């Protein structure tokens, strides 16, 4: 393999677990300069993208897995670190090491070509092994963070959490006003169950959030059906919509051919 034709201007660790592209910047990556990516037609030249920034958490720690999930919208990037271990809650708290694998998410913003950390996000109900930051998404001034290990059995939006449904999962919505971030919503499925891993994937666009739950176990099919527990790990997706500052679940989606172990 030829040497890279362009050296990166900033240090970018290799290999990269995740990459995210938006408009004119890359977090990391390698690209073919000439078509061809099979054994019969191999690439003839490689080049490294020049990274604009090398991002590290403000409280870097061993086993944090910073960068496991990333998302970008305009000049805002959000990075998940599901192994971060502070027991603190809320935004821009002073971290400690009191809750192993509770997880965190970090918001970075760009001004010109300079990136700075704007927020350090923690769940409102931080717990050990919640894996907050396993998934992240951002759209404008809204950030969504999944915590697949969260353990509350509650259902719906902004309920009082408990510890009664192991690994049921939860999703948290944060919003920005100027430069200040606050948690706007704590989302749970309408049919919360242990091991559902609600929040394994998240996506946000405007006032709509979609959440994946790979362990959900209903055998039903279609939209807004009455769930059961007859198809282990068949999986489901939930759609939430925002009106003003209020979030509600709009849809419960199942595959048209839902089956056991489909996630």
Q: What average pLDDT values come out for the chain (263 residues) when binned by 10 residues?
A: 32 40 40 41 47 92 97 98 98 98 98 96 98 98 98 98 98 98 98 98 98 97 96 97 98 91 68
Question: What's the pLDDT score for residue 261?
Answer: 74
One domain for residues 27 and 143: no
Domain span including residue 13? 1-54
Does 263 fall in a domain? no
Is residue 86 located within the same domain as residue 168? yes
Contacts of 245 (CB under 8 A, 6+ apart): 175, 184
Q: Is residue 221 a contact partner of residue 258, using CB atoms and an 8 Å limit?
A: yes
Does residue 128 share a domain with residue 78?
A: yes
97 with 227, same domain? yes
Which are the contacts of 180, defined by CB distance < 8 A and separation ≥ 6? 91
DSSP β-bridge partners for residue 46: 32
Same domain, 118 and 42: no
| Per-residue model confidence (pLDDT) at position 20 | 45
The token pair at 21 is 């592209």
Tell me what pLDDT residue 52 has. Answer: 86
Residue 133 to residue 170: CA distance in whole angstroms: 11
CA neighbours closer than 13 Å in the CB half-sphere of residue 220: 16
Predicted pLDDT at 188: 98
Residues 34 and 120 in one domain: no
Chain-centroid distance, C-alpha 175 = 15
Hey, which residues does 72 pair with through a beta bridge?
77
Is residue 82 situated within a structural domain?
Answer: yes
pLDDT at position 175: 98
Domain assignment present for residue 160? The answer is: yes
**Are 2 and 36 in the same domain?**
yes
Q: Are residues 23 and 136 in the same domain?
A: no
Same domain, 48 and 66: no
Q: Tell me, what's the pLDDT at 88?
A: 98
Structure tokens, 245: 């500052």
- Residue 84 shares a structural domain with residue 213: yes
Tell me, yes or no, whether 22 and 89 share the same domain.
no
Number of domains observed in the structure of the chain: 2
């Amino acid at each position: 393999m030829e040497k890279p034709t362009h050296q990166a201007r900033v240090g970018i660790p290799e290999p990269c677990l995740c990459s995210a592209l938006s408009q004119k910047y890359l977090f990391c990556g390698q690209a073919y300069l000439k078509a061809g990516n099979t054994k019969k037609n191999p690439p003839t030249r490689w080049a490294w993208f020049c990274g604009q920034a090398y991002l590290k958490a403000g409280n870097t720690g061993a086993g944090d897995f910073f960068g496991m999930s990333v998302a970008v919208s305009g000049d805002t990037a959000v990075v998940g670190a599901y192994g971060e271990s502070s027991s603190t809650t809320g935004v821009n708290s002073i971290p400690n090491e009191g809750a192993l694998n509770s997880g965190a998410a970090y918001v970075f913003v760009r001004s010109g070509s300079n990136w700075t950390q704007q927020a350090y996000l923690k769940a409102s109900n931080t717990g050990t092994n919640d894996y907050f930051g396993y998934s992240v998404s951002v759209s404008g001034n809204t950030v969504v963070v999944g915590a697949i290990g969260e353990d509350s059995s509650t259902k719906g939006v902004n309920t009082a959490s408990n510890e009664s449904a192991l690994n049921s999962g939860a999703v948290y919505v944060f919003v920005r006003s100027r430069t200040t971030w606050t948690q706007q919503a704590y989302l749970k499925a309408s049919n919360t169950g242990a091991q559902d891993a609600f929040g394994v994937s998240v996506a946000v666009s405007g006032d709509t959030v979609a959440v994946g739950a790979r362990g959900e176990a209903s055998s039903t099919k279609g939209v807004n059906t009455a769930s059961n527990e007859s198809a282990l790990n068949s999986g489901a997706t939930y759609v939430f919509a925002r009106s003003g500052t209020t979030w509600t679940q709009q849809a419960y989606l199942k595959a048209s051919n839902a089956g056991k172990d489909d996630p």
